[in-house]
Amino acid sequence: MTTENKNSNIVSRPPVVVVMGHVDHGKSTLLDYIRKSNIVDSEHGGITQHISAYEVKHKDEEGTDRLITFLDTPGHEAFSKMRARGAMVADIAILVVSAEDGVKAQTLEAYNTIIDSKTPYIVAINKIDRPNANIEKVKNDLVEKGIYLEGMGGDIPYVPISAKEGTGVSELLDIILLVADMQMFTGDIEQNASGIVIEANREPKRGISATAIIKNGKLKSGMFIACGESIVTTRILENFLGKPIKEASFSSPIRLVGFESMPEVGMVFQSFKTKKEAEEYVKKIKNEKTIDNSINNEVNASKIVPLIIKTDVAGTMEALEKEIDKLNNQEISFKIISSGVGAISESDIKMANINKETIIIGFNVKIDNSARDINESLNANIQTFDIIYKLIDWLKEIVEERRPRQETIEVTGTLKVLKTFGETKERQVIGGKVTTGRISDGANVRIIRRDFEIGRGKIVGLQLNKIKTKEVLEDTDCGVLIETKIDISAGDVLEAFITVIK
């Protein structure tokens, strides 16, 4: 279907859809029904290659076959990373809610992720075949949580479904295509393909491979793809079924094999007709990265502590953000890299694992069992609180603990050298007068001549009236044995100092 555009190369493209919601509300069952296969059975049946996206066909109202791309793993790392890069891997989200259980903490967590990413979404009220299903109660529950459905004061489309029996699933696919038409997702068929990596791994026999979604343009066999600082040829190009293909276009999930290095999940890729063009692109990326790092080092000298925050309600989040912002200073500041309503989840742990200095904070929320399990190996720093001031007091301790330390020299006393006496190897005996503060045995000293430091030494003996002493106070004459490689002369000044870490 070609859109009305002066450029005839611009055509509508299939939507990329992600399914999100509580772990037990039927996401996988819905995807399985749509795909007409069972993921678990297939994997147990010996399929070793797993791809996290696939295409389905569905007839629209005019009876035309239309493609829809589904992302298999809604909690995928790529979905979170897209927000930071300003790129959208998913065009439409489906928020699945159980007609039995209603809105759960994980439902709200998924909802907040969708809202933060500004993704158009549809609510699927699942499990309507269950005896305890109560669609009206769930609808009211959603509205109470600020999710305003069509016919209930809002414009969010919803579809009651049974993923197990397939009831309403066709209608859900109709709504997906309707939303896609309203959003007018388009692409340029003549452009070299670009898109987003959603999965990457190392295969024993084939090396580094990645799953990607094409978001624009066309990819042909024999082209070169650059992703970050890594390059791969499309000599081995496969579709979501693992079958070799010669070309692919926008919204298609593809498998690329043979990367030089591991591409980062969530990274944008660009394709080129020649390897030279791909190498020039990578070189440009490296230069920009170097410049960015240089700017960041110059402009932002303070230490950044990444935070992931989960709260029971959105209002608490706003209050916490304001309080945390008050703790930031030039030496150290907190950066909230992810926030949401609901329990601390497995995806939070995985995100924290990217940077070991990340702290996960939960306020009036619990930690999912799956998150606890995975954290036994990843060991993320998780702290939970139920009183705001205790949370803030703990973060104040973190500020003091992690702030950059600076060594400063504090002068404890000065002595003017009046006369020099005998000298042995690297040791000198001098006579002088303490002019400020105090001079102590064992003190480190700076040797000052005409207001310039000419070297350093250490006091290894003090005498007051030819009697050994530990300390000499201001306006007092004394004898000093100093250990130094510098030849000290009358008129020099010794500054006794201590090094303080602040």
Backbone CA torsion sign across 304, 306, 312, 314: positive
* Domain co-membership, 278 together with 315: no
* 1 belongs to a structural domain: no
Same domain, residue pair 464 and 323: no
DSSP labels, 396-452: HHHHHHHSPP-EEEEEEEEEEEEEEEEEETTEEEEEEEEEEEEEETT-EEEEEETTE
Q: What are the residue ranges in the chain where pLDDT is below 70?
A: 1-8, 37-51, 72-88, 288-302, 313-315, 318, 502
Flag whether 134 is in a domain.
yes
Q: What is the pLDDT of residue 271?
A: 92
Whether residues 134 and 52 fall in one domain: yes
CA distance 479 to 305: 52
Please give the Cα distance from 480 to 469 (Å, whole number): 10
165 and 243 in a common domain? no
Same-domain check for residues 73 and 118: yes
CA distances to 53, 58, 218, 501 from 234, rounded to whole Å, are: 19, 29, 12, 56
Residue 2 included in any domain: no
Residue 311 falls within a domain, yes or no? yes
Residues 261, 237: one domain?
yes
Q: Which domain holds residue 241?
A: 194-298
Q: Does residue 35 share a domain with residue 153?
A: yes
User: pLDDT value at position 49?
Assistant: 33
Tell me: do 412 and 395 sit in the same domain. Answer: no
171 and 107 assigned to the same domain:
yes
Please tell me the distance from the alpha carbon of residue 279 to that of residue 301, in angstroms, as a whole number. 33
- Please state the φ and ψ torsions of residue 268, each to the nearest 5 degrees: -80, 135
Q: Say what the pLDDT of residue 302 is.
A: 64
Q: Is residue 5 part of a domain?
A: no
Q: Are residues 285 and 260 in the same domain?
A: yes
* Model confidence pLDDT, tens digit, residues 40-76: 333 333 322 344 788 888 888 888 888 999 886 544 4
322 and 398 co-located in one domain = yes
Flag whether 267 is in a domain: yes
CB 52 within 8 A of CB 254: no
Residue 176 confidence (pLDDT): 94
Last residue of a domain, one of 135, 165, 185: 185
Q: Are residues 372 and 421 in the same domain?
A: no
